[in-house]
Amino acid sequence: MIFLRHPSPRVDPGICYGQLDLDIAVEGHAQIDRALELTPKVTRLLASPALRCRALAQTLAARDEIEPVFDERLWEMNMGEWEGIPWRDIPREVSEPWIADPYNLPTPGGESFREVQARVLEALTDAEPDTAIVCHAGPIRAVQMAWHGLTFHQAFAAAPQYAEPIELHPPE
């Protein structure tokens, strides 16, 4: 399967966002053009319904003459009360316990990474090898952890590049 992180979002640096519905930044259009060059033809396309995923998903689907399927389970992590606020404005006494164990602990009013991983893997249950998945860094990392045995820290050591295809295969 081919996974693609959405193009660069239009957001100020340092803002906490997960399910905040952001459009793509100006440079996102060039990233979509590059993704069209690098991504092989697919017969099925699943995508997060986020604005920042839609432009890439619809462009790839049009190229391959297929209909994209938008699935709520492919959204980025719900950051709850922290959505849209600067990280520096989140009180440390609130953020530090979560930072110590984000896999198991939810953000206030949000979800844990374990919950993200469960819903993303559920969304991929029927996905076939020639499927493209346009989503977010969190869901891609969740798949890498489940399918390739990466630890949380290994998966988060480097972010997937914007709009660049990554081939991942489920375990046999």
Q: What is the CATH number of the domain that holds 61?
A: 3.40.50.1240
State how many domains the chain has. 1
In a domain, residue 15? The reply is no
Helix intervals (H) in 65-162: 92-100, 113-123, 137-148, 152-155
Q: Per the domain annotation, does 86 fall within a domain? A: yes
Residue 149's pLDDT is 94
- Report pTM: 0.95
Q: How far apart are CA 1 and CA 98, in angstroms?
A: 32
pLDDT of 172 higher than 90: no
pLDDT > 90: what percent of the chain?
97
Query: Does a structural domain hold residue 14?
Result: no
For 118, the domain range is 2-9+21-167
Residue 16 lies in a domain: no
Has residue 158 been placed in a domain?
A: yes
pLDDT, position 53: 98
